[in-house]
Structure 1
Amino acid sequence: MSEREEVVRRWRREARCVPLARAELRKALAGWGLSELEEDALLVASELVTNAVRHAVAPRDREIETRYVRLASGVRVEVHDASPARPVVGAPHQDDDGGRGLHLVATLADRWAVGERVGPGKRVWAELSVKVT
């Protein structure tokens, strides 16, 4: 890979952006020859975008940005939102309907973190790589 490839899209902060963001990632992975990462990467993207839609405390007109970056051995999934509030990895109870998203991200990704971004808010990212067997 000679240059960094990325796909950047902006979405209205609505639940219907989640499947659209997944479709963009699926298309990018196929184009990069990384379809073997599809299942895990799509789940990670779903969790991160859903968290931004549900929990980002920001004006409704502020958009969510997804950034999918082709890495040498995989992909980085980034979700940017305008809320400065950092996500918290909770301890979900077995009977809870939610609260497991970041646990799934931590399990599926090689690494993930929350960081600064240009402009207000934060970016939450996760990297997944092709497993060499």
Structure 2
Amino acid sequence: MHRARHELAAALAGWGLAELEDAASLVLSEPMTNALRHARVPQREIGTYVARLPCGRGGVRIEVHDASPAKPEARASAPDDEGGRGLALVDTLTGGRWGVADRPGPGKLVWAELAPDA
């Protein structure tokens, strides 16, 4: 995960979007952690993809790819729960611009878009 966050920070700096680094790192960490904990498939890797959004939208798209068909779902958590708030955090940071999509081959991708105004 360290490498993915480092590559994200470098891409954001190169695009002049370094102000998004903290929020983008959190947005990347949640689906990446979910994939590592719940979506590992033997002999398959978990991957990330980061792209700058087209001009006018001024942000970044973050994707986490894994080979499991199981889709993450936001859930309500009790105040004393140790987990279960990650997707709610992603939803808040992205203004609801995130989701799950099919991908070529096995598995899925979890995507999120983050803009400076979110």
TM-score between the two structures when normalised by the length of structure 1:
0.81
Determine if the alignment matches structure 1 residue 104 to structure 2 residue 89.
yes
* Corresponding position: 1:43 with 2:26: yes
- The answer to whether structure 1 residue 86 and structure 2 residue 68 are counterparts is no
Once the 2 structures are TM-superposed, how far is the Cα of residue 57 of structure 1 from its aligned partner? Answer: 4.7
Cα distance in structure 2, aligned partners of 1:40 and 1:24: 15
Counterpart CA distance in 2 for 1:89 and 1:131 is 23
Equivalent position to 1:129, from 88, 92, 115: 115
What is the DSSP-based 3-state SS (H/G/I as helix, E as strand, rest coil) of the residue aligned with 2:75?
A: coil
Identity %: 61
* Post-superposition offset of 1:93: 1.1
Q: Which amino acid aligns with 2:90?
A: V
Counterpart of 1:11 in structure 2 is none
Of 84, 87, 105, the match for 1:119: 105
Distance 2:40 2:24 in 1: 25
> For residues 65 and 42 of structure 1, what CA distance do their matches in structure 2 show?
15
- Is the Cα–Cα contact under 8 Å of residues 114 and 123 in structure 1 kept in the other structure? yes
Count the aligned residue pairs: 114
Question: In 2, distance between residues paired with 1:102 and 1:58?
Answer: 22
Cα distance in 2 for residues equivalent to 1:100 and 1:22: 20
Q: Which structure dedicates a bigger proportion of its chain to strand? A: 1
Q: Which runs of 5+ in 1 are unaligned?
A: 1-17
- Structure 2, unaligned stretches of length 5 or more? none
Aligned partner of residue 28 in structure 1, secondary structure: helix
Secondary structure of 2:51's partner?
strand
1:28 aligns with 2:11: yes
Query: Is this contact kept in 2: 1:56–1:83, CA < 8 A?
Result: yes
Displaced runs of 4+ in structure 1, greater than 6 A? none
What TM-score do the two structures reach when normalised by structure 2? 0.91
Is 2:12–2:20's contact at 8 Å kept on the other side of the alignment? yes
Partner of 1:69: 51
* Contact 2:40-2:66 within 8 A present in 1 as well: no
